[in-house]
Structure 1
Amino acid sequence: MISDNDLYKQFLSGNILSFEELVLRHKDNLIYFLQRYVNDLYIAEDIAQDAFVYIYVYKDKFNFKFNIKTFIYTIAKNKAIDYIRKNSKTVSIEGYEDLELQENELEKKIIQNEEKRIVNEAIKRLKKDYQAALFLIDFQEFSYSEAAKILGKSLPQFRILIFRARKSLKSLLEKEGYVYEK
């Protein structure tokens, strides 16, 4: 399988199909990531599309010292934050019953077993920063430094954030009767 960065290099050389492959590889997980910010599947899809359009139009902005996946998520996160700022009066932080129905279709692709579903439900009750950190590290398998860049944190700040996120998640799960096993 060809790497994401190699696909992007092929795209820069004029191979549009390489860019389409990048989009197909990352769109579902990116939408799921963005949904954590905006609490609406359709808005998350629009923001993801905007991020890919930005990357398509501004091809030369990517620095090959980094991973293209990190770049995609960083652009998308920034676009989600811009959306929240512009629509802060209309974005709901809690109470999104309809969102859970929409989210189930996407979650089925990402979360395959019951144990992961339980953990995911607990993650939803965490702070948004905690949710994003856990998603990037545990679901998307970004490195700490890549995840820190995506969230706009220094590496020490991110280490503290992920430590607190995991501690909060463990506490939530223990309150519901689940025991952490090493």
Structure 2
Amino acid sequence: MFRTEDLSDNSLVKQFVDGDQAAIELLIARHKKRVFTYIVLIVKNHHLAEDIFQDTFIKVIRSLKSGKYTENGKFISWVLRISHNLIIDHFRKEKLLSTTSNDDTNIDLFNSQKYSEENIEDKLVYDQITSDVRLLIEELPDDQREVIMMRHYQGLSFKEISDLTDVSINTALGRMRYALINLRKLIEKKNLSLTKI
């Protein structure tokens, strides 16, 4: 006999969109461990990870109901991308809310090199380099782009990357190697200078 558990993710998505509430519960149960592990590895805080996990699936449900999901890849990759964006949003908000008080110390913090404004030209050059690199990364194949983002933007180890992407460590390392080779080729092809003058 055919069981609901045997249905593909996309079949369950279709059932949920058609009104079957049990389908989304099965999808959440199926992917809970991987999504939660992904979030907790990045935020390194269990309670915060639970909040972001919950927000992720609230957004997944809303997006599915409003027809924003298209079958252009794996459902799980889409969910992980949503959780990744929510993590970035959280850290951006946290950065905006963090303030420093001069009252808590005997030293004048605001007369410190640490808090001095960097040269505006340096900042503009740095921002341009960062922007150029991000655009180059977008041109890489999906598997290479994923390993670059996880390693350099999320700070994950190759062991963590291999666990999250369901590949061996050697495959993850290989993808990184090819990503760097391809980035060098793109830099040469576009004749870009990615250094501060």
Query: Counterpart of 2:145?
Result: none
Q: Which gives a bigger RCO, structure 1 or 2 (Cα 8 Å, sep 6+)? A: 1
- The whole-number CA distance in structure 1 between the counterparts of 2:20 and 2:158 is 33
Residues 89-110 of structure 1 deviation map (CA, whole Å, 9 limit, x = unaligned)? 49xxxxxxxxxxxxxxxxxxxx
Query: Counterpart of 2:166?
Result: 141
What percent identity do the matched residue pairs reach? 28
Shift of 1:87: 1.3
Give 4+ residue runs of structure 1 displaced > 6 Å after superposition. none
Query: Counterpart of 2:32?
Result: 27
Q: Which runs of 5+ in 2 are unaligned?
A: 1-5, 100-150, 181-197
Query: Counterpart of 1:17?
Result: 22
Q: Which runs of 5+ in 1 are unaligned?
A: 91-125, 148-155, 162-182
Q: 1:139 to 1:5 in 2, by over 3 A?
A: same
Shift of 1:139: 3.8
Structure 2 residue 76 is the aligned partner of structure 1 residue 66: no
Instruction: State the TM-score, normalized to the length of structure 2.
Output: 0.50
- The whole-number CA distance in structure 2 between the counterparts of 1:31 and 1:82 is 17
Query: Counterpart of 2:56?
Result: 51
What does 1:122-141 align with in structure 2 at a 5 Å threshold?
129-131=154-156, 135-141=160-166
Instruction: State the TM-score, normalized to the length of structure 1.
Output: 0.53
SS at match of 1:61: coil
RMSD: 3.0
Residues 105-162 of structure 1 deviation map (CA, whole Å, 9 limit, x = unaligned)? xxxxxxxxxxxxxxxxxxxxx86635177545434427xxxx9xxxxxxxx879537x
- The whole-number CA distance in structure 1 between the counterparts of 2:177 and 2:79 is 19
Query: Counterpart of 2:89?
Result: 82
Residues 57-102 of structure 1 deviation map (CA, whole Å, 9 limit, x = unaligned)? 1211111121111110000010011111111349xxxxxxxxxxxx
Contact 1:36 1:132 in 2 (8 A): no
Shift of 1:28: 2.1
Letter of the 2:57 counterpart: F
Larger radius of gyration: 2
